[in-house]
């Protein structure tokens, strides 16, 4: 990343002083770093001035539509009987108030009708009515009204003079049938629910709001419900906060907030998910961009620019983020400059420097080796014997002068041997003097250097230390990557060493995370880098993606087949891919995880094999072609096949075509640079 840690690095560090967790203090396990302007440019460091701004109180959370409890109704028979006829036979049907649902034969209601007719004949006979007859008639009529008969039905009964065998069962409200139990011929008792109705002219939207956002919400506040549908554009509906429940969920630490939404056209159905925008009170506070705050789970801190190129970690206390801005409760003052881009690079270097500063300094107690050491620790120079050496050289010169022919013959023989060796002995232009080593590379993207060090690098190093003929093991942990360099003793065959490392990796693989797979590096060193070329389209007919495809699928395979070539490493260019951008709000609303979306994409992009059919002395192979031809086909993939509710990938995420840029240490306009290594 351009942040070297050797003696020639331009980074300077200051050890962390104590474990600080208070706002404004120095956070633990990190230290201040200094970067030159050139290093800041390479690391992509961008700063932002802390300013006081208005923080909107708007909150966005997932919500689900439910049927209102105030609009529910149950339909029962008021007297024991039997279902003789059924008018509404299924759920989901909309009924109007007063509509007949079924007809019930009840002996009790039939006897009450006969009593009403008898009282009517008694009070309406010839002559004056007996005493108490009008009261008896009114009591019989009131009893039938309590059993569910309407006044119009009683008037018709008195007009015809014949009791009705089956009386109608009517809907008390207008709504949809959500439960059906009036089976033809079944017994109907007062404790048996025959129908359940739900009035959906007004629905409830229930949202789970985090604990820290609850103080800004009040009953009667305004809200908006955004209903997202796959086949229709999103609609924004006005809502009103009806209730903020006092209890919290112990697991999610959220409270249910209930809103009332008008549903005149029946567009909202119970079980639908959407997004709720809640309006809270706006506040004024110091704010920084969301990317400026680094959260470790125990501490929150930012990197503050305190001088010319000096960045110091500073603990802060934050509030809930709104619109990409994070309010700062304490730890910063107005006018401070914090790092918004490149902060994770600074954090990795800061943690590395803090670890090195905390390690105990070790050295050689004897002050070095070689030579004679006096009693006071001062090294004495060895005695020189110039007289004897001068005598030997003089004797050689004198002997060569006396035997000139022998010296000339020896010179000719040595010259011939040198010419022969030069023509037949294979020599490297740049000899590889490095130690035999094997590189183990592990990619675990998205994890911090500390997590990679603990769960990947440390198990690999401890296992490789016990391999035979290992001289040294060096390791380096980076953001999402781990490099382990295993150095073997001089004279060890490189392929024997690679086989020993593979044996160790097969035993240590179970101790690593499931999605971290270590692999060996190429059997070549940096000294074998013999050629570098660049693909350049000077006419402008191809882009970087097409140049990268030409390099990866045409040139690289041809160069790899050349004898002696170990690897062709491509750097730069664009790699074509589909990027699935998941909406976390909708994901939480449907109760799914990112792993569910990954499995859905993997299932939707695969071919399947079938059996072989033999027809007319020919064999036909049956296979299913399932590779995605484009993003539209992917959007129709189902995310959770086993779930009760259907959920498509386009509902939770979007996947436009995108080009993955492979960053290169060297750049060339309109080119994809490549390097060729040989051994």
**What average pLDDT does the structure give for the chain?**
79
Across the range 21-25, mean pLDDT stands at: 64
Segment 299-351, tens digit of pLDDT? 889 998 988 888 999 898 887 777 778 888 888 888 889 998 888 888 888 88
**Cβ count within 10 A of residue 29:** 15
Write b or e for each residue in 407-421: b if 16 or more Cβ atoms lie within 10 A of its Cβ, otherwise e. Answer: eeeeeeeeeeeeeee
Segment 540-559, tens digit of pLDDT? 888 888 888 888 888 988 98
Q: Residue 487's closest CA among 464, 471, 463, 476?
A: 471
State the Rg of the chain over Cα: 43
Across the range 48-59, mean pLDDT stands at: 81
Given 3-state DSSP classes, what are the helix, strand and coil percentages for the chain, each rounded to the nearest 5?
Answer: 30, 30, 40
Report how far apart, in Å, the C-alpha atoms of 71 and of each of 272, 499, 556 are. Answer: 18, 73, 69
List Cβ neighbours of 290 (8 Å cut-off, separation of 6 or more).
Answer: 321, 324, 325, 326
Structural tokens at position 140: 């019989």
The separation between CA 452 and the C-alpha centre of its own chain, rounded to angstroms, equals 18
Please report, to the nearest 10 degrees, the dihedral formed by the alpha carbons of residues 373, 375, 377, 381 taken in order. -40
**CA 159/CA 152 separation, integer angstroms:** 11
Work out the burial of residue 378: count CB atoms within 10 Å of its CB; fewer than 13 is exposed, 13-18 middle, 19 or more buried: exposed
Q: 149-153, 497-501, 637-641: which has the minimum mean pLDDT?
A: 637-641
Segment 435-482, tens digit of pLDDT? 888 999 999 988 899 999 999 999 999 999 989 999 999 999 999 999
- Looking at mean pLDDT, say which of 13-17, 251-255, 340-344, 540-544 comes out highest: 251-255
**CA 501/CA 466 separation, integer angstroms:** 10
For tokens 């509710």, the residue is 645
Q: What is the pLDDT of residue 365?
A: 41
Segment 137-184, tens digit of pLDDT? 888 889 888 888 888 888 888 888 888 889 999 999 999 998 999 888
Phi, psi of 465 (to 5 degrees): -65, -25
Across the range 497-501, mean pLDDT stands at: 92
Report how far apart, in Å, the C-alpha atoms of 635 and of each of 326, 597, 602, 653 are. Answer: 33, 11, 13, 8
Phi, psi of 398 (to 5 degrees): -65, -40
Q: Helices (H) and strands (E) in the chain — how many of each?
A: 16, 40
CB 460 within 8 A of CB 411: no
Structural tokens at position 422: 């030069």
Phi, psi of 474 (to 5 degrees): -115, 150
pLDDT for 200 beyond 50: yes
Residues in the chain: 679
Q: What is the pLDDT of residue 366?
A: 43
């Amino acid at each position: 990343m351009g942040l070297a840690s050797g003696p020639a690095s331009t980074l300077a560090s200051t050890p962390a002083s104590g474990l600080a967790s208070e706002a404004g203090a120095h956070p633990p396990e990190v230290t201040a770093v200094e970067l030159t302007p050139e290093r800041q440019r390479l690391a992509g460091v961008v700063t932002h001035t802390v300013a006081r701004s208005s923080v909107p109180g708007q909150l966005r959370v997932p919500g689900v539509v439910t049927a209102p409890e105030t609009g529910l109704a149950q339909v029962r028979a008021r007297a024991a009987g039997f279902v003789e006829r059924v008018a509404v036979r299924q759920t989901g049907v909309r009924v109007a108030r007063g509509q007949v649902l079924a007809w019930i034969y009840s002996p009790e209601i039939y006897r009450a009708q006969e009593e009403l007719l008898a009282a009517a004949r008694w009070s309406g006979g010839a002559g004056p009515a007996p005493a108490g007859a009008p009261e008896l008639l009114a009591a019989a009529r009131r009893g039938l009204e309590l059993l569910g008969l309407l006044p119009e039905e009683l008037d018709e009964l008195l007009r015809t003079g014949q009791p009705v065998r089956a009386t109608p069962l009517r809907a008390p409200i207008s709504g949809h049938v959500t439960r059906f139990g009036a089976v033809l011929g079944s017994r109907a008792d007062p404790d048996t629910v025959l129908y359940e109705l739900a009035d959906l002219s007004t629905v409830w939207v229930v949202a789970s709001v985090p604990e820290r956002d609850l103080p800004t919400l009040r009953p009667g506040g305004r809200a908006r419900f955004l209903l997202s549908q796959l086949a229709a554009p999103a609609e924004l509906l006005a809502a009103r906060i009806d209730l903020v429940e006092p209890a919290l969920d112990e697991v999610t630490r959220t409270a249910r907030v209930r809103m009332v939404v008008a549903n005149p056209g029946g567009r909202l159905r119970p079980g639908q998910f959407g997004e709720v925008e809640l309006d809270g009170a706006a506040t004024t506070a110091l704010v920084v961009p969301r990317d400026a705050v680094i959260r470790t789970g125990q501490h929150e801190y930012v990197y503050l620019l305190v001088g010319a190129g000096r960045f110091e970690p500073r603990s802060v206390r934050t509030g809930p983020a709104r619109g990409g801005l994070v309010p700062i409760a304490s730890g910063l003052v107005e006018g401070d400059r914090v790092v918004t881009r490149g902060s994770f690079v600074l954090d990795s270097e800061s943690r590395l420097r803090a670890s090195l500063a905390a390690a105990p300094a070790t050295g050689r107690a004897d002050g070095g080796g070689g030579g004679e050491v006096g009693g006071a620790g001062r090294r004495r120079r060895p005695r020189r014997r110039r007289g004897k050496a001068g005598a030997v050289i003089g004797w050689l010169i004198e002997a060569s002068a006396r035997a000139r022919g022998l010296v000339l013959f020896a010179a000719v023989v040595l010259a011939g041997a040198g010419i022969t060796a030069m023509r037949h002995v294979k020599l490297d232009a740049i000899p590889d003097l490095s130690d035999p080593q094997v590189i183990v590379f592990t990619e675990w993207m998205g994890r911090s250097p500390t997590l990679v060090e603990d769960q990947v690098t440390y198990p690999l190093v401890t296992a490789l230390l016990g391999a035979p003929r290992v001289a040294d093991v060096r390791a380096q942990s980076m953001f999402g990557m781990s490099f382990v360099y295993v150095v073997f003793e001089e004279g060890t065959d490189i392929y024997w060493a690679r086989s020993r490392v593979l044996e160790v990796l097969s035993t240590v693989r179970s101790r690593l995370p499931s999605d971290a797979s270590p692999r060996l590096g190429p059997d070549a060193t940096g000294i074998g880098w013999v050629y570098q070329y660049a693909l350049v389209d000077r006419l402008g007919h191809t882009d970087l993606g097409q140049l990268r495809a030409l390099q990866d699928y045409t040139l690289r395979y041809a160069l790899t087949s050349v004898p002696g070539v170990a690897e062709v490493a491509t750097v730069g260019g664009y790699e074509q891919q589909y990027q699935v951008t998941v909406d976390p709000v909708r994901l939480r609303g449907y109760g799914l995880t990112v792993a569910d979306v990954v499995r859905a994409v993997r299932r939707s992009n695969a071919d399947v094999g079938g059996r072989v059919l033999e027809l007319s002395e020919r064999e036909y192979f049956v296979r299913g072609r399932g590779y995605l031809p484009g993003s539209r086909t992917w959007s129709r993939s189902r995310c959770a096949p086993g779930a009760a509710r259907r959920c498509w990938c386009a509902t939770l995420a979007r996947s436009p075509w995108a080009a993955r840029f492979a960053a290169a240490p060297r750049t060339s306009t309109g080119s994809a640079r490549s390097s060729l290594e040989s051994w």
